Each structure stands twice: as structure tokens, then as C-alpha cells.
A and B are shown apart, each in its own frame.
Chain A
């Protein structure tokens, strides 16, 4: 079965730096990979989607890369701000009739002044 790994340890970075979060998976490559932000006590909020034939996707200060050889997606937040502090989840969808969107456990990002 597919496994999704996100660093369970919190990532602490200084304001203004670039935060990089990783999402690793095993076995088959997903057809779609999504990133969500979740604040405490709230539901996840969609940020970006990248398809298997795309290497990179950008949205404002956010950038997602997708490396099917390394079986890894990187999520970058440039010029990070304290308001970026949250938990970030990756979610993968694999081709197949029984496929469902599968979420990682998330990585908590803490941006300090």
C-alpha cells in the first residue's frame, strides 16, 4: 500500500527566510499532488495542486516541485512571515478505480520574528 511521509517534527525558521517542507511517498507516483494549510481548530485549506507531468507550480510566495524519480514533492514558502505558521498537509491521488485522495500527517511550520 502507498505510504506518505511528512516530517513530524516542527520546522522552525526565521521571518524572511524560505521554508521548505517535504512530502515523500513510496511505490507508485500519484497523478495529482495537493498541498493544504491547516490552522489549529480549523479545516484544511487548499493551496496548490500539481500534476504528475508538471515539475513545478507557483502561486505568489508559494512554490511546489514534484520529482517522480525521487518520489518527493517539496513545498516552498519564500519570504516567510509569522502568519505562515500553520500545519501543512500534502495529499496524493493515484490513478485507478479504487484510488482515493490520501493525506499525509502534516508538518507544523513555526515562523518567528
Chain B
């Protein structure tokens, strides 16, 4: 099993550009989520999904969109990138509920100029 995969690993954007961060898992997990990690702030939940076709907002959803058309994939879209979105983004998945063991991807380091 590949576990949770994320692409790209690094990305540089200009303010106002849009892009999609890809996340996929091959463990048939229902629950998937996106976090951002900033120095001194810890991991903060952006969006999450409890199954295909169901998504909801986390703690810091503004400026981001998600969709979940399949169990495996959970892409994160930045609509109009801002310097405040410079961060490291992690995708995670777990069996059924978020209080179970979370499997994290390797992360995407995003810089917005």
C-alpha cells in the first residue's frame, strides 16, 4: 500500500493564482482531512470529509475549496492564492472517524509570493 500520497511536494505561486493540491489514499478510509502547519501554530484543520460526496469546513476554511467524488481522492483547491496561505499542507485519512489513528501524507510546501 502506498498509504496517503500528496502532490506536488513543493509549489510556488504568485498572489491571485489558483491551484489544486492532490491527495489520495489506498486504504479505503472514509475520513479524510486537510491541515495546514505553520510555525508556532500547530496543525489546523482546513476541511474534512466523512465519505464520498460529503465535505465540511474545519477551523480555517476561508480561501480553500474541497470536493470528494471518490473514496480515494480529496483535492484541496486554492481559489486565489494569498501570501497568508504560505504554509505546509498535510492531507490525512483515518478509518471511520477522526479520533482513530490518522495517516498523514508527506506534505506540500507552498509559498505564495
In the complex, which residues of chain A have a beta carbon less than 8 angstroms from the beta carbon of B98?
93, 100-101
- Verify A46–B43 contact, CB threshold 8 A: no
Given A8-B40, A43-B107, A44-B90, A101 contacting B59 (CB threshold 8 A): no
B74 at the interface (CB under 8 A from A): no
- Chain B nearest CB from A63 CB (Å) reads 18
Interface range for A: 20 to 34
Nearest CB in chain A to that of B103: its residue: A46
In the complex, which residues of chain A have a beta carbon less than 8 angstroms from the beta carbon of B105?
43
- Chain A nearest CB from B17 CB (Å) reads 24
In the complex, which residues of chain B have a beta carbon less than 8 angstroms from the beta carbon of A49?
99-101
- Verify B42–A106 contact, CB threshold 8 A: yes
**Of B44, B92, B103, B106, which contacts A42 at CB under 8 A?**
B106
Nearest CB in chain B to that of A105: its residue: B42
A39-53 interface mask toward B, CB cutoff 8 Å, 1 = contact, 0 = none?
001111110010000
